[in-house]
Amino acid sequence: MTISKGDRLPSSTLVHLGDAGPAPVALADKLSGRKVVIFAVPGAFTPTCHSAHVPSFMRTKDQFTAKGVDEIICVSVNDPFVMKAWGEATGATAAGITMLSDAESAFTKAIGMDFDAPPAGLIARSKRYAMVVEDGVVTHLNEEASPGECEISAGEGLLDVM
């Protein structure tokens, strides 16, 4: 079942790579009593994700903060080492975007946002989407029709529906 507006996100554990190494992050702890934006990409360092999706949230971070968003989280089905390197390479980490790994694709599968594209070498990856979550409940969800598109799931596209 694909997650929808009004649904509560499932309990999930993602991974963040910090100075002490990989550390589990309980998504429920990030969401409890908070307004959070979560956007997901098919893969770190892939063209649209790298040149369009992440930069769109870096450009719009202050606008989200002005709308009461406590945190912006980028999720990808990559390992935490790749997510850390990608956050550094794009400037997302320095801009205050939280880069979390869903290496096993457990969260992505639990919300029905997984897909495979073997010709492109993408297996068990995430569809491209962005959502606003308030206290664990999805209040806005913008899913792209194709993983190569980045319009409604970009920072500007999500701001348009808030």
**pLDDT tens digits, the chain, 162 residues: what are they?**
689 999 999 999 999 999 899 999 999 999 999 999 999 999 898 878 888 899 999 999 999 999 999 999 999 999 999 999 999 999 999 999 999 999 999 999 999 999 887 777 777 889 999 999 999 999 999 999 988 899 999 999 999 999
Residues forming the active site: 49
Q: Say if pTM beats, i.e. exceeds, 0.85.
A: yes
Task: State how far the Cα of 43 lies from the Cα of 47, in Å rounded to an integer.
Answer: 9
Domain spans, the chain: 13-161
Superfamily of domain 13-161: Glutaredoxin (3.40.30.10)
Q: Which residue has the tokens 């999500």?
A: 158
Return all residues near 77 (Cβ < 8 A) that are at least 6 apart: 42, 43, 101, 102, 103, 105, 108, 114, 124, 125, 126
